[in-house]
Structure 1
Amino acid sequence: MSNTIINYNNFLAKLGFQEFNKIQLDFFNEVDHHQNLILLAPTGSGKTLAFLLPLIRSLGENKKHVQGLVIVPTRELALQIEQVFKSLKTNFKSTLCYGGHSMRTEQNSLAEGATIVIGTPGRLADHIQRGSLELSEVKTVVLDEFDKSLELGFHDQIESIFESIIGNPKHFLTSATDLKKWPDFLPFEYPHEINYLDNTVKSNLELKVLYTSHKEKGENLLRLLSKFDQESSIVFCNHREAVDRLSILMKDYDFEHAVLHGGMDQLDREKNLIKFRSGTVNILVATDLASRGLDIPEIKHVIHYQLPHKEEAFVHRNGRTARMHAEGISYLVIADDEYVPDYIEQEIQEISVEEDFSAPAPSEYACIYFSAGKKHKISKGDIVGLLTKKGGLEGKDIGLITILDTSTYAAVNRHQSKRVIEKLHNEKLKKVKVKVEEAN
């Protein structure tokens, strides 16, 4: 094993992994031999670690200048990458830049000095135009989910970013689809390719179909979901209006769930993803915004309430389950005025649902909101300390803790959540009085 891999192995204990996967090892081995690399690999295959560790390894001692730039298509992906970066516990500072975030907060963070900047194309281009982001010292540029950035039309913004980069940095690109046309605004020829899109990573995905009348389609979806108990499920729709309609139906039948689509405020999107990640709700109803690039835990069931028009979208949705040799089931809910698209050639098992159903029992966890976050220098240790010392919880009663700029969310034992909230009324964190309540 090379010295390069041994260096990367120093991060395994921090990550809680036994070893890196083959995709990551292949990327590590190629980094020193090529100036520009593109990694083609399915959703959920570990691309983030594959490019983050070589990026970190390239950083020099000058922490006041931007040395690593990660360009992503969505704010959710930016937040996910920052979480992975922070889990590595380096002594380098990162700054997030994305639309919907405070411009002043980002400018202040950049002015203080950041070694790695993670951001969306539009916001990064805005900072460059304002003079708050300077890229003369960049050593590595990452274009993560590059195909998605092109699909969303960020050509002009990415081109302006590259025009501002001085020197000859390394370029890492990742994509979940093979690029048919190479954009001419990139300052390099087609990079060395590492391709894992050819079923090298075997998926154990099972397909099932539920045929239904159009009138009963929504209720039959609930009948299907009611049998999954506490197993996590994503229901995909093509349009945000369908997501909202299903959400109303689920509320009528007391199905606890979260929703995600591009028409929501950023804070609501983050909060709903936090609830789903932490297991405080086990059903997520979403558009294709949730099909790729999001740090969502292993999903047992993917339900296509509305089938996408293109096979590519179908593949990305299914990528949320049966990831990296795990098993999963994908369901098609087909009404009498719909059909199974031609791009699905795999054998599909037809299923039925029972007439009588009831909402699954709520999760064992509830989500608690704290009105303090990163700006108040709050850490996960501070939250755990407050919940155990003042709230009377044991460690086993505390689940995922997520800290945002001005708020924090913690999953706690549902049976004790109301008592904990009462106990923490008017308590302080870092000498700041915080509001504590169940997340709405």
Structure 2
Amino acid sequence: MTLTPMQEAAGAAIRSQNNVLLLSPTGSGKTLAFILPVIEMIDTNSPRLQAVVVVPTRELALQVESVLKEQTREIRSMSLYGGRPAMEEHRRLREINPHIIFATPGRLLDHIGKENLNVLSTRILIVDEYDKCLELGFREEMDNITTALVHVPQVVLTSATLFEEKSEENALDAPSLLQRREFKTIDFLATVHDLQARLEICIVPSPEKDKLSTLARLLTHLQGQSAIVFVAHRESAERIAKYLKEEQFAATVYHGGMEQEVRERALYRFRAGASTILVSTDLAARGLDIPAVRAIIHYHLPIDEATFTHRSGRTARWEDTGTAFLMVGPEENVPAFVESNEVLNVDDITPQPFHPEWAVLYIGRGKKDKLSKADVLGFLCKKGGLTSAQIGRIDLGAHTAYVAVKRDVVKRVLHQIAGEKIKGMKTLIEEMRR
């Protein structure tokens, strides 16, 4: 595995048992930078909890845990987050005795308060997207977490934005117990200029305050390329996604007010290419690993440079290139922190939706049923008559599976597998509708 200079430097600092502040742009691989040394320090023969990773959102918890599982299956792990019964998580904690947990602040404190977790053996505390944890109103919870884990010998904080000097009342102040620690700073934020070199920024004027028709024209200009449309409010996300669907665009909505299962389906459809447009609040601006996003559309202008950076960082990840479009209404101005003289006028474009290449099949069995990705692939090839080229991304949940197949073969494959058992099990298999 070839690591970046940032990952090498961060790994060396963490292995030296320093408290580490890791500053690096969105999409630069910070997760792998701390996961690799943590893997090395965990004693897999011990039944005790050894590492705690705090993240601002459920999606990021699952994403970071997936990076761990890609590297090793010998370390027991678990994600803890709200929106599901804490008792269910407690039962699982007792069953697996995780070496490492990935948790949102509120749910972590809940388990600590109920003594569902023994954190005394914890050797390292990592707060991923540290600034975002505090932005989302977790300041008091972060204070309580650092108090509960005051004994932990090593702390790692990660962020994609620089911590500036703040007043005491500012929410971005570090919790007091962290202020007493000395941190070794690994600062690769200067490489944000590399991102700027790979990111094209384009201004899209909207002649109307309501930018819906301009958005449809812009999406037509993109010709079906994957795009995330960022908006300021959940209600706006719902309204815009509804409009795009009515206009036959392959759009999916995503925000924090949705049920977790619905959010999961939305992300899967987008990642798999069954939806080419994700209309989202800033919930999607951090932590989500969505490959090959070609365009970011700021439907509502970012309120500050950090928001612009995190949103735009969903494209042009690693060595890829991408474009950030800022939609500017008749009463709006381009933010001062955005440097771009490029203007794209889409007024003469006739809106025309592009239909995605992929569709998604839902399978009512998952990991708990001992179903593997190989089982799904083999079933669709043998029973459904598909080739591997007609099958895309496969995701397995505890009791469900999602698989992308070429849209033009969906009806045929559903007809051929009707009534067939997968791995000897009867189950529901149907097309996932948007």
In the alignment, structure 2 segments of 5+ residues that lack a partner are 165-172
Alignment of 1:28-43 (within 5 A): 28-43=11-26
Q: Secondary structure at the match of 1:317?
A: helix
C-alpha distance in 2 between matches for 1:45 and 1:228: 25
Q: Deviations over 1:138-183 (max 9, x none)?
A: 2222110011011112233233333433744322210111223332
Corresponding residue for residue 290 of structure 1? 284
Corresponding residue for residue 122 of structure 1? 106
Corresponding residue for residue 7 of structure 1? none
Q: Secondary structure at the match of 2:314?
A: coil
Alignment of 1:282-361 (within 5 A): 282-344=276-338, 346-361=339-354
1:200: Cα distance to partner? 5.7
Q: Deviations over 1:181-231 (max 9, x none)?
A: 332133851411001112465122221112122266211111110121232
1:196 aligns with 2:188: yes
2:143 touches 2:176 (CA, 8 Å); kept in 1?
Answer: no
Instruction: Return closer, same or farther for 1:279/1:188 CA change in 2, 3 Å cut-off.
Output: farther
1:23: Cα distance to partner? 1.0
Aligned-residue RMSD, C-alpha: 1.9
Q: Deviations over 1:366-411 (max 9, x none)?
A: 1111112233232212221222222222211111111122221111
2:14 touches 2:34 (CA, 8 Å); kept in 1?
Answer: no
1:333: Cα distance to partner? 1.1
C-alpha distance in 1 between matches for 2:189 and 2:262: 34
Q: Deviations over 1:298-352 (max 9, x none)?
A: 32111111102212111111111223343211111111122212222x1321111
Output the amino acid matched with 1:161. Answer: I
Corresponding residue for residue 365 of structure 1? 358
Number of aligned residue pairs: 422
C-alpha distance in 2 between matches for 1:425 and 1:190: 62
Instruction: Return closer, same or farther for 1:291/1:80 CA change in 2, 3 Å cut-off.
Output: same
Output the amino acid matched with 1:390. Answer: K
Corresponding residue for residue 170 of structure 1? 154
Question: Could you tell me the TM-score, scaled by structure 1's length?
Answer: 0.91
Instruction: Return closer, same or farther for 1:117/1:215 CA change in 2, 3 Å cut-off.
Output: closer
C-alpha distance in 1 between matches for 2:36 and 2:407: 38
In the alignment, structure 1 segments of 5+ residues that lack a partner are 1-11, 13-18
Alignment of 1:73-222 (within 5 A): 73-112=56-95, 113-165=97-149, 167-180=151-164, 181-186=173-178, 188-199=180-191, 202-203=194-195, 204-214=198-208, 217-222=211-216
Q: Secondary structure at the match of 1:95?
A: strand
C-alpha distance in 1 between matches for 2:276 and 2:31: 25
Question: Could you tell me the TM-score, scaled by structure 2's length?
Answer: 0.92
Instruction: Return closer, same or farther for 1:184/1:165 CA change in 2, 3 Å cut-off.
Output: closer
Q: Secondary structure at the match of 2:189?
A: coil
The list of structure 1 runs, each at least 4 consecutive aligned residues, that deviate by more than 6 angstroms after superposition, is: none
C-alpha distance in 2 between matches for 1:431 and 1:109: 27
Q: Deviations over 1:34-79 (max 9, x none)?
A: 4211101111010000010111110113342211211100001011
Instruction: Return closer, same or farther for 1:377/1:84 CA change in 2, 3 Å cut-off.
Output: same
C-alpha distance in 2 between matches for 1:378 and 1:106: 22
C-alpha distance in 1 between matches for 2:93 and 2:111: 10
Q: After alignment, is 153-162 or 79-88 more displaced?
A: 153-162
Q: Secondary structure at the match of 2:279?
A: strand
Match of 1:264 among 234, 258, 261: 258
C-alpha distance in 1 between matches for 2:280 and 2:19: 35
1:95 touches 1:116 (CA, 8 Å); kept in 2?
Answer: yes
C-alpha distance in 2 between matches for 1:104 and 1:429: 32
1:34 touches 1:192 (CA, 8 Å); kept in 2?
Answer: no
1:40 touches 1:174 (CA, 8 Å); kept in 2?
Answer: yes
Q: After alignment, is 183-192 or 139-148 more displaced?
A: 183-192
